[in-house]
């Protein structure tokens, strides 16, 4: 399988290429490019986040919980008061840490985090969050989710390519390693899989209402 550095670089390279293509094809607003590239990088590293207590996992856990709680703090301050906003933000931080840990306790390496539904869940979820929570323009919201997907699926593809052994044996020969077929999958552990598909259903509901 491809390593951490390879995944980061591949996500960045495909991210830069697809940001250019997005501008050319859809006039994607370029002032949000940092965000697009950030999302591609997050997507590119997320599938391997489930290695127990790995640095990527812990980084994701704390940054993810922190960003989630700040989003809720903003909502609280906007709709109620600063005090309530801080309270909701703090509560959300510890709740998110707990939920991420709980989710992780079910998974093994190359488990649910390394699956197609996880990518779809993240991509649609980010479009919803960008549009409804941060009030980004529609196109920018699509961009945020879309570049996450670009990074995520590039990671899965790269892992599958690494599990092919390409050589020469009276013509080109392609052999499959044992890990072939474990990167692209539609399901993994039972409960997280059920949870993800139901969550995608909820996200799609919001997604359809955009625009
Ligand atoms: Zn991987």
Q: 114 alpha carbon to ligand 1 midpoint, in Å?
A: 7
How far, in Å, from the CA of 175 to the mean position of ligand 1?
A: 19
Q: How far apart are CA 52 and CA 109, in angstroms?
A: 8
Report the separation in Å between the CA atom of 9 and the middle of ligand 1, taken as the mean of its atom positions. Answer: 14
Rama region for 110: left / alpha / beta (φ>0; ψ in -120 to 50; rest): left
From the CA of 92, how far away is ligand 1's center (Å)?
A: 29
Q: Ligand 1: distance of its center to the CA of 91 in Å?
A: 32
Distance CA 210, CA 207 (A): 5
Q: How far is CA 18 from the centre of its chain?
A: 16
CA of 196 to the centre of ligand 1 (A): 19
- Count the Cβ atoms, other than its own, within 10 Å of residue 36: 25
pTM of the model: 0.80
Q: What is the pLDDT along the chain (211 residues), one digit of tens a residue?
A: 678 889 999 999 999 999 999 999 999 999 999 999 999 999 998 888 877 677 778 888 898 899 889 988 988 998 999 999 999 999 999 999 998 888 777 777 778 888 999 999 999 999 999 999 888 999 999 999 999 999 999 999 999 888 877 666 677 666 777 666 677 788 888 888 898 999 999 999 999 988 7
What is the distance in A from the centroid of ligand 1 to the CA of 19? 23
């Amino acid at each position: 399988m491809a390593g951490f550095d390879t995944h980061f670089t591949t996500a960045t390279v495909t991210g830069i290429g697809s940001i250019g293509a997005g501008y050319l094809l859809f006039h994607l607003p370029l002032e949000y490019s940092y965000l697009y590239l950030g999302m591609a990088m997050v997507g590119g590293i997320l599938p391997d986040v489930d290695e127990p207590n790995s640095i990527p996992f812990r980084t994701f856990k704390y940054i993810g919980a922190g960003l989630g709680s700040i989003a809720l703090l903003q909502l609280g301050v906007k709709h109620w008061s600063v005090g309530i906003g801080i309270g909701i933000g703090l509560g959300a931080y510890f709740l998110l840490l707990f939920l991420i840990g709980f989710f992780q306790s079910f998974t093994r390496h190359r488990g649910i985090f390394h699956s197609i539904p996880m990518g779809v869940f993240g991509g649609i979820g980010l479009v919803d969050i960008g549009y409804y929570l941060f009030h980004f323009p529609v196109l920018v919201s699509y961009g945020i989710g879309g570049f996450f997907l670009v990074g995520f699926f590039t990671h899965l593809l790269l892992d599958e390519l690494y599990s092919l052994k390409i050589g020469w044996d009276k013509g080109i020969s392609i052999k499959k390693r044992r890990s072939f077929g474990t990167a692209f999958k539609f399901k993994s552990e039972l409960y997280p899989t059920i949870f993800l598909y139901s969550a995608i259903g909820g996200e799609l509901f919001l997604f359809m209402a955009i625009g």
